């Protein structure tokens, strides 16, 4: 790594209406360097990189690559200068092959024929050089999320990128995929590429970066070499104050409010859930852990009224039910935080107040004879915004303008503001910064303390250990016996997630 900068962003400012996303930001990137751009959700990280790549035109400031100014607002100029960007939400066509995705936009429309043979050879050579194994003929939609991200990186390298920007690259990856990704990025840096990765995850920043720039409130709050800082300092720099996650206090659970007994759910000829059993009790959190794809999504659908059991029984508040519809579960006092806030939790183009009442439109409080009461909806949204600290929000503004953390607070508030009897929380803090994680954990613990029964489905072992009273692992649609959180540790949970269960009889009050 040399000291001469290959990239300079000088005095960048960008406003959206009255919101200042970037405020006079200046940063640089050296050749062969891995630079982490760290900050809370909404700190201005993605906006700054969108200015770099030409998606946004800055109000003030310049972008310079190898000493030459880039014309503002022109992505093609950035690509020609050797800048590549891997977006958090992939810009790929799932119905096309890997090779077609990589070649898209690289040949003139006036060309009489496409030189696919040369393109294939070039793609495979790049893949071999950087250890990014890929099948050029594979249909993109058939690949895993990690493999699709690999294709995004290869596409940038195919376009001769010397500076690579990755926006929240691990947001949709498993821990193993994330480790492989950062090993690849370090190999790229050794080959002379210069990389910026946007993140709010302190562990991965400390493990992967050479240098860290912290943004807060649209400004540069600090710059640190990795060897000269630690996670505690970085968390404080991100938020502007000391950040500590709340701790779970001991509590005595109340009555059973929901029971799943021997339930199987069959979908597409496959048993997605196999003879599972668990109980939810008042004032207690049951944590479900597991590697993604082992039945968590189906379990969430079962508890959200989207699928019904093929076998077994459900008992809600002491009464047998065949399954809920969505309205029925809301009326019964079951709130839910879905896994994907953008696809399942909120509609980005709707106003915040519309998303706030979206699951309650049947209620006379918000509609009569098919006419929505906008005034009541606005008041309800403002109540959520105030009580749950949804920042940068006006009840009438578009929900898509919220940062990920603030959108999650909106969804959480919609479900918790009138305390539910049961809360189903699926990956409630995925993709959120440390400050937002602490705030959401505090709200879940508060609901538990008020008597809500919580079902927490998460891949984050620290989160489950911090919030759950009892823990079960899900593997290939089957559930382990529960273990008390006080007896568990990360190693034990890791073994449980791999299917290594001690299937001896236990004297456990859950069964």
Tokens 């194994």 found at: 133
Residues 6+ apart with CB under 8 A from 154: 98, 102, 123, 126, 127, 132, 134
Cα–Cα distances in angstroms (integers) from residue 160 to residues 148, 155, 157, 479, 505, in the given order? 19, 9, 5, 48, 60
Across-strand partners of 276?
263
- Residue 243: HSE in the Cβ half-sphere, 13 Å Cα cutoff: 21
Six token digits for residue 428: 């409630």
pLDDT at position 220 is 96
Q: Are 449 and 283 in contact (CB under 8 A)?
A: yes
pLDDT at position 112 is 61
Round to whole Å and give the CA distance between 46 and 56.
11
Q: What is the DSSP string of 171-212?
A: TT--HHHHHHHHHHHHHHHHTT-EEEEEE--HHHHHHH-SEE
Residues 6+ apart with CB under 8 A from 509: none
Angle subtended by helix axes 434-449 and 231-239, to nearest 10: 90
Round to whole Å and give the CA distance between 148 and 172.
11
Residues 6+ apart with CB under 8 A from 286: 278, 279, 280, 453, 454, 455, 456, 468, 469, 470, 471, 472, 482
Closest Cα partner for 59 from 11, 7, 9, 27? 11
* Domains (range + CATH), the chain: 5-82+162-239 (3.40.50.300), 97-106+113-159 (no CATH), 282-308+321-497 (3.40.50.300)
Closest Cα partner for 260 from 31, 502, 472? 472
Q: Are 85 and 156 in contact (CB under 8 A)?
A: yes
Q: What secondary structure, in 3-state letters, does 6-27 show?
A: EEEEEEEEEEECCEEEEEEEEE
- The pLDDT tens digits along the chain (511 residues) read 445 799 999 999 999 887 899 999 999 999 999 999 998 877 889 899 999 999 999 999 999 999 999 999 999 999 999 999 887 767 788 899 999 999 987 766 666 677 889 999 999 999 888 888 889 999 988 887 778 888 888 988 898 899 999 988 876 666 677 788 888 899 889 989 999 999 878 888 998 999 999 999 899 999 999 999 998 899 889 888 887 888 898 889 999 999 999 999 998 888 999 999 999 999 999 999 987 778 888 999 898 888 889 999 999 888 888 666 777 777 778 898 988 888 788 998 999 999 999 888 888 888 888 888 999 999 999 999 998 888 777 899 889 888 777 888 899 999 998 889 999 999 898 777 778 888 889 999 999 999 999 999 998 888 999 999 999 999 999 999 999 999 988 888 888 888 877 543 343 433 3
Q: What is the DSSP string of 245-261?
A: ---PPP-----EEEEEE
* DSSP-derived secondary structure letter, 52: H
- pTM exceeds cut of 0.85: no
Round to whole Å and give the CA distance between 196 and 201.
14
pLDDT at position 172 is 65
Residues 6+ apart with CB under 8 A from 332: 316, 317, 324, 421
């Amino acid at each position: 790594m040399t000291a001469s900068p290959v990239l300079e962003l000088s005095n960048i400012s960008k406003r959206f209406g009255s919101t200042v996303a970037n405020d006079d930001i200046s940063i640089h990137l050296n050749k062969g360097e891995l630079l982490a751009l760290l900050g809370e959700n909404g700190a201005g990280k993605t906006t700054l990189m969108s200015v770099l790549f030409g998606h946004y035109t800055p109000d003030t400031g310049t972008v310079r690559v190898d000493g030459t100014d880039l014309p503002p607002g022109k992505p093609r100029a950035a690509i020609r200068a050797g800048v590549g960007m891997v977006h958090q939400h992939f810009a790929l066509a799932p119905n096309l092959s890997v090779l077609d995705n990589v070649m898209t936009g690289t040949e003139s429309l006036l060309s009489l024929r496409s030189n696919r043979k040369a393109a294939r050879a070039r793609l495979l050579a790049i893949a071999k050089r950087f250890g990014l194994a890929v099948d050029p003929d594979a249909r993109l939609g058939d690949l895993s999320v990690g493999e699709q991200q690999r294709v995004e990186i290869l596409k940038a390298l195919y376009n001769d990128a010397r500076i690579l920007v990755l926006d929240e690259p691990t947001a949709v990856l498993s821990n193993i995929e994330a480790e492989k990704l950062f090993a690849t990025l370090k190999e790229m840096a050794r080959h002379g590429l210069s990389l910026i990765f946007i993140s709010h995850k302190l562990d991965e920043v400390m493990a992967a970066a050479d240098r860290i720039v912290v943004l807060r409130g649209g400004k540069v709050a600090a710059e640190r070499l990795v060897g000269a800082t630690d996670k505690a300092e970085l968390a404080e720099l991100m938020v502007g104050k000391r950040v500590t996650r709340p701790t779970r206090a001991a509590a005595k659970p109340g009555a059973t409010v929901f029971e799943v007994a021997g339930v199987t759910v069959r979908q597409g000829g496959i048993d997605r859930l196999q003879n599972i059993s668990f109980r939810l009790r008042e004032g207690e959190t049951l944590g479900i852990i597991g590697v993604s794809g082992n039945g968590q999504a189906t379990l969430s659908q079962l508890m959200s009224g989207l699928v019904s059991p093929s076998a077994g029984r459900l008992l809600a508040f002491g009464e047998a039910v065949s399954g809920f519809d969505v309205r029925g579960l809301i009326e019964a006092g079951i709130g839910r935080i879905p896994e994907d806030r953008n696809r399942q939790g909120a509609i980005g183009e709707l106003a915040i107040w519309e998303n706030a009442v979206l699951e309650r439109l049947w209620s006379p409080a918000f509609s009569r004879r098919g006419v929505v009461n906008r005034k009541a909806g606005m008041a309800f949204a403002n109540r959520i915004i105030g009580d749950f600290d949804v920042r940068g929000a006006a009840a009438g503004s578009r929900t898509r303008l919220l940062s990920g953390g603030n959108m999650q607070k909106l969804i959480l508030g919609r479900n918790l503001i009138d305390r539910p009897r049961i809360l189903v929380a699926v990956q409630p803090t995925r993709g959120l910064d440390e400050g937002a994680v602490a705030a959401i954990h505090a709200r879940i613990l508060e609901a538990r303390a008020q008597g809500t029964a919580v079902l927490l489905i998460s891949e984050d072992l620290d989160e489950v250990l911090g919030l759950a009273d009892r823990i079960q692992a899900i593997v290939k649609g089957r559930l382990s016996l529960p273990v008390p959180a006080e007896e568990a540790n990360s190693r034990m949970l890791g073994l449980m997630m791999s299917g290594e269960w001690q299937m001896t009889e236990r004297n456990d009050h859950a069964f």
